[in-house]
């Protein structure tokens, strides 16, 4: 078992508060000593009551999924002797009404761009295996399409799949890279899917 501690601190100051016109700026202090300025999202609580330069909980949620996925990906790549030069993810989250009509983070799409280098680069079979997994399921729960109810699930079935899914168009490599065709990019728990063909260069950048 692991435990994680963060201190969230807010103070009223000189504001009346009970008129609901108070600043939402606060801080997150982590056990390593890092203090992060935080606030409500300006799309939820308009400025000046939200601090535009601070991190809001919705952004932090998207960042935590992206960061966790990247660390998972890098650990697997290292164990399998793939040398990763860089990993950049332009993650995107959506807040919308769920099936119950309540606002929720209904979708997070991860778009990692991974650069490999060295003699050992992913083969066609390895890309396919990374996409399908051992059971070759379309999604972690099986082959049933995602739904608003499933995207909001955080129970036994959805404990690791709360982030949502999104179909993306075909991806292509750079002109000097092998052809790369994407079947599906998954936000959790797998990312890159598809197959590569042709001679492998010394460096391959897979980009959208």
Residue 197 DSSP symbol: E
Q: What is the pLDDT of residues 121-133, one digit of tens each?
A: 888 777 666 656 5
What is this structure's pTM?
A: 0.66
- Whether residue 161 is predicted with pLDDT greater than 80 in this model: the reply is no
Q: Which residues fall within 8 angstroms of residue 70, CB to CB, at 6 or more apart?
A: 87, 89, 112
Q: Token pair for residue 75?
A: 């650990």
Give the strand pairing for 6-9 and 26-30: antiparallel
Q: Is 22 exposed, middle or buried (0-12, 13-18, 19+ CB in 10 A)?
A: middle
Per DSSP, helices labelled H in the chain are 57-79, 124-132, 148-151
- What is the pLDDT at residue 150? 55
Q: Is 153 exposed, middle or buried (0-12, 13-18, 19+ CB in 10 A)?
A: middle
Q: Which residues fall within 8 angstroms of residue 179, CB to CB, at 6 or more apart?
A: 172, 173, 196, 197, 198
Q: Token pair for residue 194?
A: 């598809």
Contact (Cβ atoms closer than 8 angstroms) between residue 72 and residue 189: yes
Q: What is the pLDDT of residues 2-23, one digit of tens each?
A: 999 999 999 999 999 999 999 9
- pLDDT higher at 89 or 138: 89
**SS3 assignment, position 18:** coil
Q: What is the pLDDT of residues 45-96, one digit of tens each?
A: 999 999 999 999 999 999 999 999 999 989 988 998 999 999 999 999 999 9
């Amino acid at each position: 078992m692991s435990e994680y501690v963060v201190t969230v601190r807010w103070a009223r100051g000189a504001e009346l508060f009970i008129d609901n016109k108070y600043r939402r700026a606060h801080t997150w202090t982590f056990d390593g000593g890092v203090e992060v300025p935080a606030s409500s999202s300006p799309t939820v609580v308009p400025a000046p009551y939200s601090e535009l330069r601070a991190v809001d909980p919705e952004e932090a949620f998207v960042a935590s999924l992206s960061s966790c996925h990247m660390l998972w990906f890098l650990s697997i790549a290292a164990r399998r002797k793939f040398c990763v030069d860089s990993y950049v993810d332009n993650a995107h989250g959506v807040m919308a009404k769920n099936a119950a009509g309540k606002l929720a983070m209904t979708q997070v799409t991860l778009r990692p761009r991974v650069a490999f280098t060295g003699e050992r680069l992913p083969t066609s079979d390895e890309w396919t295996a990374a996409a399908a997994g051992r059971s070759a399921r379309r999604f972690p729960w099986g082959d049933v399409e995602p739904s608003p109810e499933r995207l909001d699930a955080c129970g036994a079935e959805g404990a690791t799949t709360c982030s949502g899914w999104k179909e993306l168009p075909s991806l292509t490599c750079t002109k000097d890279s092998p052809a790369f065709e994407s079947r599906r990019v998954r936000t959790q728990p797998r990312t890159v899917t598809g197959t590569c063909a042709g001679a492998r260069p010394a460096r391959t950048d897979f980009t959208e």
